[in-house]
Structure 1
Amino acid sequence: MNLYQSLGYLVLGSRLRRLSEAFLAEINRAYQNAGIDFDASWFPVFYLLSKNDALSIKELSEQIEVSHPAASQLIANLKKRGLVSTDTCSDDGRRQLVTLTTSGRELLAQIMPVWAAITEAMTQLVEGDETALQLLPAVTALENTFRQSKLADNIVEKLNTNLKPAGNE
């Protein structure tokens, strides 16, 4: 058992970040090896735009569960690369609608087979390991638990309960 495994919940965030970074590095390497100039961090936007002709930045931020400024920054980056364009919504001038450009649609056509290969490779990777098969359901359960509770408040409550001076009960 390594240090991270021995520390349990104290390093859960670090372990998840390390796993995520390692996974995304492998995915980016797969795109690179296939000769495709695509970054895995763009996936949520491309996926959503592959299913919708146009989405507002607000809709994108809500669906990918990031702040509006983070979504705006991602869209600005993709716009600078010529992969998406934004236009003011005709019925609400405050809304910016995001669409894939011709270059973005051409890139989408290149990356869709990679998505299928990722799904197939990951399914094959975990299919022989009963514990690994539980990863996605466990992550979903943990996400739902975090949405329903305030971990920081619970920690403070534990601190206050455990730090009460003796005799004040």
Structure 2
Amino acid sequence: MNYYQSLGYLVLGSRLKRLSELFLSEINKAYRLQGIAFETTWFPVFQLLDKHKVLTIQEIAEQMEVSQPGASQLIAGLKQKGLVCSQAHAADARKQQITLSEQGKTLLMRVKPVWEAIRIAMEDMAGTDGHHLLENLTRLEDEFKSKGLVNNIMENLNSKNIISHEENI
């Protein structure tokens, strides 16, 4: 057991961040090895537009669970690269409808086999208990959304007999 593993939940965020960085780095390598200029941060937008064809920036932000400015910034970058197009919404000109451009659709067709290979590789690596990992991550995400970690920490500090460092002296 390494140092991080020995600390359990106290370093869960650090372990998840390290794992996420490793995961995204490996996926970026796979894209590069296939000669595909695709960034992992684009995946949710491409997947959503593949599924829905047309979405507003607000709908993309809601689906990705990010702020509207964050989604706008991502869309602006994709627009600059010529991968998405936008046009004013027919009913509300303040809203922009986003679609994949022809270049974006071509790129989508190239990355879809990589996505399937990623899914298969991750299922293999996660093993037979992999579905439990995803279920537990979903449960943890739901707990963070509904109650929040800080509320839980404060509750524990107030209701449990946790002795502060100063009281131990």
Matched letter for residue 42 of structure 1:
W
Q: Distance in 2 between matches of 1:82 and 1:92?
A: 24
Q: Which amino acid aligns with 1:15?
A: R
Superposed displacement of residue 159, structure 1: 3.1
Match in the other structure for 2:90: 90
Q: Say whether 1:71 aligns with 2:74.
A: no
Deviation at 1:125, TM superposition (A): 2.1
Name the TM-score, length of structure 2 as normaliser: 0.89
Structure 2 stretches lacking a partner, 5+ long: none
Aligned to 2:136: 138
The superposition leaves residues 113-148 of structure 1 with CA deviations (integer Å, 9 ceiling, x where unpaired) of: 111111111122223x54x45211111111122222
What residue identity is the alignment partner of 2:151?
D
Alpha carbon RMSD of aligned pairs, Å?
2.0
Aligned residues: 164
What pairs with 1:14-29 in structure 2 (closer than 5 Å)?
Answer: 14-29=14-29
Partner residue in 2 for 1:103: 103
2:81 match:
81
- Structure-1 residue corresponding to 2:35: 35
1:44 alignment partner in structure 2: 44
2:151 aligned residue (144, 148, 153): 153
Secondary structure of the equivalent of 1:112?
A: helix
Question: Which amino acid in structure 1 is aligned with residue 156 of structure 2?
Answer: K
Cα distance in structure 2, aligned partners of 1:120 and 1:159 = 43
Cα distance in 2 for partners of 1:148, 1:133 equals 22
Could you report, residue by residue, the CA deviation over 1:20-68 in whole angstroms, capped at 9, with x for unpaired residues?
Answer: 1110111110000000000111100000000112100110011011111
1:73–1:146 Cα change, 3 Å: same
After the TM superposition, which of the residue ranges 1-10 and 98-107 deviates more from structure 2? 1-10
Instruction: Quote how far apart the aligned CAs of 1:7 are.
Output: 1.4
Q: Distance in 1 between matches of 2:123 and 2:148?
A: 33
Three-state SS of the structure 2 residue aligned to 1:134 is helix
Q: Taking structure 1 as the reference length, what is the TM-score of the superposition?
A: 0.89
Unaligned runs of 5+ in 1: none
